[in-house]
Structure 1
Amino acid sequence: MDAFNHAVGGFKFHQLALDHQLGTVVDSVASGGIDDAEAVATYEQHYAMTDERLPVVMGLCQGQAMLDHEHFSARDMSRSAIYAEWLASLGMKHTMVLMQRVEGTVQEYVGFMRHRDQRPFGDADRRLAQQLMPDLLRATRLRAQARPLARQAALGLAALDALPHGIAVVDAQCRVQHGNAAAARLLARDGSIGVRYGRLHCRDGASQARWQALVAAACAGAGPTAAGAIRPDGGLSRLVVTVLPLKAGHAAALRQVPMALVVLVDPDAPGGLTPGLLADMLGLSPTEARLALLLASGKTVKDFAAIQGCTWNTARAHLAQLLRRTGCRRQAELVGLLQSLRLG
């Protein structure tokens, strides 16, 4: 946008996504040249939905351009609050608007504005916009798809930070890709395992060998040792460190390479796991988390079917999915894994 703005002689640009049914600004990006954030906010809150350019812009199809001087005379601009007040206060006048996305009631467009001493945008600027329009539309589409992903990621990271258990994601070389606040506290306090040169490393040699083997198996995602737990020697509180496979397709994997999910639990800390907490830690559905807790308490799959009010075959299907998600091969491994997380 900055490069295009410069190419057409724009002074500043402002990209907006408007829900015209709700009458609200959904998203907004202003060029780096707009230093007065208050002025931009004033436009979005008080001028955007009453801007006389808006009906013209909303009539555009995706990929079309609007040059304001083709629709508004100098007399119209002198009588307009947008031109005479808001644009003039920022040293701007003429605009060229490109419609970038039309999706339901949301329309996203970008307006390029020239300094008040410059001439209006012309046909050469429109031709350049049309030439670059496929790339602009593709970039807008990708950005629109990235917005909900960013919101989901922010919510997910906030949920991880709220967990009382330490959660970390490591690669096959034990390099830490992410750790929540509880993990940082436990690692700083215990001493048996910590971060050295960006890698999780056990203080005790035997524990380090076992730790590396668990991480390698979890990242490989194969065999009965794909998930496991250790208690590293040499610490104060004897942390229980559980390692689980985290496949490349998992939302927490961060990159498209196999990684391991590490759960750190202080066995002396009060409280246990709830279905919601277990679901957050292991990426399970609520039903799978309830099944896991029942199995860890000594119940059977048939008991779960009776409690859940479903058929035995449905309960078995939930168990198969639960084993797949946790990287366990057998029910006994799953129970052992859950017990390492101190379920009670």
Structure 2
Amino acid sequence: MADADDVLDLVGDIYDAALDPLRWPEVVGRAGQFVGGQVASIFSKSPIAGGGDVLCQSGIDPHYCQLYFDKYVKLDPATTGQYFAEIGQPIAVSDLMPQDELRQTRFYREWAAPQGMVDFISAVIDKSATTAALFGVFRYESDGLADNAARMRMQQIAPHIRRAVMIGRLIDLKSAQASAFAEALERMTCGIGLVDRLGRLVHANAAGQQLLDAGDPLFVRDGRLAARDGRTDHMLQDLIVRSGGGDAALGTGGTAMLMTSQNGLHHVAHVLPLTSRDRQAVGRAYAASAAIFMRRTMIEPPQSPELIATAYRLTPTELRVLLGIVEIGGVPEVACLLGVAETTIKTHLRRVFLKTGAVRQADLVRLVAGFMSPLAS
């Protein structure tokens, strides 16, 4: 059993990888060992197109890796179940089908068995209407089938991997060095604001300053970064304070904030601590304790979101839950956004499913996408 210091060390390295992608293979391997497997990967695949790609892997035989996406991804009996899992939910192949049934499949006989694999446990870290990105860990004969300990560890580590991957996608850095960050900061297309422990804005890149100059949904008040919406601002200030306490202080709950401006445009913000490990160099260079990454969301209804509410008779809270699930993806993050318990979000989500006729979260993504303007870029 890994001790607390080992877990903190792993979490710190995960966030360092957000700024230094060369760290990912080693970090993914350690995360796989933490969950309880010898081989791990971050990858994407589509149950609709029957394809996919490896984003990062550790320990996988390159031949079998290529073979999977060239041929066997379409034969993998777990693909559909993995896609429909909630973001962050640990799910093993052994949860989806009995072991004796799995062993009879062509996928197992020709791809998994020759490698000695008996199970695979994963968690979705991002999802679109057609594709899911997952962090997964392979289990061999010596590891046995995924057990409750593996599920608990996956649930513990997956939110940090998700957070780091999403931030890494936004900034696309080649190094975590302060000089490299400073050089890349101004050319980043996403808005970035650097704040100190009190929430005071110490620097913003051009994209971030443009967003702040607009004053909605984020603005600067008495030198401090703030959100127009009171509930969102409370969450923002809480995340900034917790970021000052290091990586572990953020916990495994949601750190993505969905913000809606007065003109109806949606933005998502992510918080990355700059007080731990290699990121401290960036923090010291700017006297900052956290970086706030801001971007507009991809899905924008053509008119007011109330059109969706009217069409499906959704209450205001149900509408916010629907938009939160579509834009952010995870029940824990939407719960943090609305300041309620996860069980409350799940209750509202069940009502949304009932009213819209949707069965899975992917159906909700397609539903909202149907309200997009055909002229949207």
TM (norm. structure 2) is 0.37
If asked which structure has higher relative contact order (CA below 8 Å, sep 6+), I would say: 2
TM (norm. structure 1) is 0.41
